[in-house]
Structure 1
Amino acid sequence: IKTPTKMSDNNPVNKEVETFDKKCLKKTHTAEKNTLPTKEDIEQEKNAVKGK
């Protein structure tokens, strides 16, 4: 009886990932921006909702 093989077992991409050298990657710096609304923005939204 033949055992079913998964498609990923023979995937050449898996072998490539396993042998990949991380040292060749460049360092990157990411800065996240998460600006919060001001009091004025919040008041404008509240007034806009009340006005509907």
Structure 2
Amino acid sequence: SDKSNMDEIEKFNKSKLKKTEMQEKNPQPSKEWIEQEKQAAESGRAATYTLVC
């Protein structure tokens, strides 16, 4: 029930959580990368992509 869930939430001790570092999985492209892509498109070269998993 909702009451038991609220009890569990109130008992939760967040001081036991481990510190973590955030890593952005989908960073925005840099200005340099955008400029390179524009130049590649204008010259007719195929754009190159790096797949990050």
TM-score, normalised via structure 1 length: 0.48
Compare CA radii of gyration and give the structure with the larger one: 1
Higher RCO (CA 8 Å, separation ≥ 6 residues): 2
